[in-house]
Amino acid sequence: MDVSGDKSLVQFADNVDAYYERLVALYWHQLKAFVTTRLGNSLDAEDIVQEVFIRAYVALERYSVQQRQDLKARAWLYKITWNLYYNFVSRSPEQQGLSVALEERQEHEWPETEEENGVNPEEVFEQLERRQELEALVASLPRHYQAVVSLYYFEELSLQEVAEVLNQPLGTVKVYVRRGIQQLRKILQMQVNMVG
């Protein structure tokens, strides 16, 4: 779980505009990748994330300095994002049940040069390939497990944060994570048995 971003926001709590700019810099790409993975459409994802940050700014203007200091910004943004994503999918029948092609990747996910990130490009490609395979497996789970497992493992939110984002009891989230992982293991075992 990455809380270092939230901690770096505290120093900007007395200035809404600076706080907001830092918030956008920290979380824009994460949220866009999160929504794009689910929708398969980067333009719709961009629209949703823009709306997330508009709503965030309006809310931040109403918050006191103390509220901004205490805010768990990452989980808060994911909650706004999840709600807007869910509303979008609910209103758009063609988006329901849409599976994302593994080939679709955003430009920011592919490193440009070896020097840029100090990592061997083949290693980066293998890591991305493994993540894509895992995302595809998670997408094969029942819908209620997909969200919980994805938020917990890929977005690295705590179980409590996942519960808050999805408005679910913590116990339910724990059960869904455990059952989702059990189903993933069964799927993987079936694949291994088919190959071997």
Assign domain 120-196 to its CATH architecture: Orthogonal Bundle (1.10)
Q: Please, what CATH class does the domain formed by 1-95 belong to? A: mainly alpha
Q: Provide the sign of the torsion angle of the four alpha carbons 123, 131, 37, 95, taken in this order.
A: positive
Count H helices and E strands in the chain, helices first. 10, 0
Helix 73-91 × helix 16-39 angle, to 10°: 40
Q: Give pTM, 2 decimals.
A: 0.67
Please answer whether residues 180 and 148 qualify as being in contact, where contact means their C-beta atoms are separated by less than 8 angstroms: yes
At residue 4, the pLDDT reads 64
Q: pLDDT (tens digit, 0 to 9) for every residue of the chain, 196 residues total?
A: 455 667 888 899 999 999 999 999 999 999 998 898 888 888 999 999 999 999 999 999 999 999 999 999 999 999 999 989 988 988 865 544 443 333 333 333 433 434 444 555 566 556 666 767 777 788 788 888 888 888 888 888 899 989 988 889 999 999 999 998 898 888 878 877 777 6
Domain chopping of the chain, boundaries: 1-95, 120-196
User: Distance (Å, rounded) from C-alpha 153 to C-alpha 166?
Assistant: 15
